[in-house]
């Protein structure tokens, strides 16, 4: 009798292993699909214009996508928990202007100290967002839509129509935006490092894995003892921190900064995250996929420019990709749920 009971009920660990394997497989399919899409976009463009795949063109492509990919890392942490941060573009703009202004007003500022100022500005903005969402129980869409305008308004108030030019910035900062290591731009390497750190955190640390549980079912996560408010606050703080770093790197990349820096960037970031396979309803996705999504959108924009296709098609294609990604995500989620139910039924058989 004991043997029959043991055979009829599969250990919970086996069911968790099955679920983890299925989720990993779905994630790999999503990321592979982005790589295939990149190939389908790049190869025809390279045939029409072979200069598109020259080393300098590829470096420019990676540089243009690096800032969006960096923001997508922080956004992924938030979206995984079933939230969204629409203020990242404004946080980047505020951080970029304050960083540039500080370097211009204090020429002797060490490079890391100036960049640290930008990171601190982003962290403060993320902390405000997190407190309102996690402790105030206000929907993140409402909070970050409001702070999007608040942070941008503060940026314009501080700038007062002024612009910081590259001539006012230290050479070390500008060199950061143009230097390369083994032919790879330093900004791209920084983005890859942040992606790797975030990926390890989500995969290997308990607090990172709990973000997925929180996004999958917030009520169940709370009943399981997961500190929901603390985890939510952490994701917004990290998103703000990454946006602050992106603002400082924006200064290094472009040199000239005004209060309009990063305007509208939040929509590109959300699109990159969703296209990269991060479920808009939370609970699944990877930072690597989000970074690939940013690269795909940036590549499509560059290809349309090379092929001399009107600019309005860029937004239309980005919107179509976003809708397609949401549809595919929903279909994969339903298929994954059926597979898990089937696996659980088999284990009970």
| pLDDT score, position 7 | 42
Mean predicted confidence (pLDDT) in 186-204: 93
Mean predicted confidence (pLDDT) in 235-243: 96
| pLDDT score, position 54 | 82
| Choice between 51 and 290, residue whose per-residue pLDDT is larger | 290
| pLDDT score, position 194 | 95
Delimit the domains of the chain by residue range.
31-339
On the question of pLDDT at 41 being above 50, the answer is yes
| pLDDT score, position 330 | 66
pLDDT tier, 9 (very low <50, low <70, confident <90, very high otherwise): very low
On the question of pLDDT at 172 being above 60, the answer is yes
For 98-117, write each residue's pLDDT tens digit. 999 999 988 888 999 999 99
For 24-34, write each residue's pLDDT tens digit. 555 566 677 77
Quick one: tokens of 256?
Answer: 């000239």
On the question of pLDDT at 182 being above 60, the answer is yes
On the question of pLDDT at 343 being above 70, the answer is no
Under DSSP, the state recorded for 54 is S
For 302-337, write each residue's pLDDT tens digit. 888 887 777 677 677 767 776 776 676 666 666 666
Q: CA dist 258 to 100, 162, 184, Å? A: 9, 7, 28
| pLDDT score, position 93 | 94
The number of angstroms, rounded, from the C-alpha of 179 to the middle of its chain's C-alpha atoms is: 24
Calpha distance 249→66 (Å, rounded): 10
Q: Does the domain spanning 31-339 belong to CATH 1.10.357?
A: no
On the question of pLDDT at 258 being above 80, the answer is yes
Mean predicted confidence (pLDDT) in 73-86: 94
77 neighbors 126 (Cβ within 8 angstroms): no
| pLDDT score, position 300 | 84
| pLDDT score, position 192 | 94
DSSP character string of 302-340? HHHHHTT--THHHHHHHHHHHHHHHHHHHHHHHHHHHHH
249 neighbors 96 (Cβ within 8 angstroms): no
pLDDT tier, 3 (very low <50, low <70, confident <90, very high otherwise): very low
pLDDT tier, 90 (very low <50, low <70, confident <90, very high otherwise): very high
| pLDDT score, position 12 | 46
On the question of pLDDT at 121 being above 60, the answer is yes
Percent of the chain whose predicted confidence (pLDDT) is above 70: 83
Q: Is residue 245 exposed (0-12), middle (13-18) or buried (19+ Cβ within 10 Å)?
A: buried
Average model confidence (pLDDT) across the chain: 83
| Phi/psi of residue 137, nearest 5 degrees | 55, 35
| Choice between 193 and 284, residue whose per-residue pLDDT is larger | 193
Calpha distance 79→283 (Å, rounded): 8
pTM of the model: 0.84
């Amino acid at each position: 009798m004991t043997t029959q009971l043991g055979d009829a009920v599969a250990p919970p660990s086996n069911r968790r292993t099955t679920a983890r394997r299925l989720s990993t497989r779905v994630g790999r399919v999503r990321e592979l699909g982005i790589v295939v899409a990149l190939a389908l976009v790049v190869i025809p463009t390279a045939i029409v214009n072979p200069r598109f795949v020259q080393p300098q063109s590829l470096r420019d492509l990676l540089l243009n996508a690096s800032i969006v990919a960096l923001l997508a890392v922080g956004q992924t942490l938030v979206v995984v928990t079933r939230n969204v941060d629409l203020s990242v573009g404004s946080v980047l703009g505020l951080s970029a202007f304050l960083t540039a202004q500080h370097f211009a007003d204090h020429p002797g500022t060490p490079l890391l100290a100036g960049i640290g100022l930008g990171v601190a500005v982003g962290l403060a903005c993320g902390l405000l967002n997190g407190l309102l969402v996690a402790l105030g129980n206000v929907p993140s869409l409402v909070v970050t839509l409001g702070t999007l305008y608040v942070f941008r308004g503060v940026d314009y108030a501080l700038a007062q129509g002024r612009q910081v030019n590259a001539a006012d910035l230290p050479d070390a900062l500008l060199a950061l935006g143009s230097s390369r290591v083994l032919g790879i731009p330093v900004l791209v390497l920084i983005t890859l490092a942040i992606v790797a750190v975030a990926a390890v955190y989500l995969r290997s640390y308990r607090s990172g894995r709990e973000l997925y549980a929180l996004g999958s079912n917030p009520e169940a996560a709370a009943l399981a003892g997961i500190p929901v408010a603390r985890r939510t606050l952490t994701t917004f703080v990290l998103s703000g921190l990454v946006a602050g770093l992106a603002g400082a790197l924006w200064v290094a990349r472009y040199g000239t900064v005004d209060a309009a820096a990063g305007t509208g960037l939040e929509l590109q970031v959300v699109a990159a995250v969703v296209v990269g396979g991060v479920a808009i309803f939370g609970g699944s996705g990877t930072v690597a996929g989000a970074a690939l999504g940013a690269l795909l959108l940036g590549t499509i924009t560059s290809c349309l420019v090379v092929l001399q296709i009107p600019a309005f098609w860029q937004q239309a294609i980005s919107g179509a990709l976003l809708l397609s990604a949401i549809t595919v995500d929903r279909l994969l989620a339903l298929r994954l749920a059926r597979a898990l139910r089937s696996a659980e039924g088999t284990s009970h058989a």
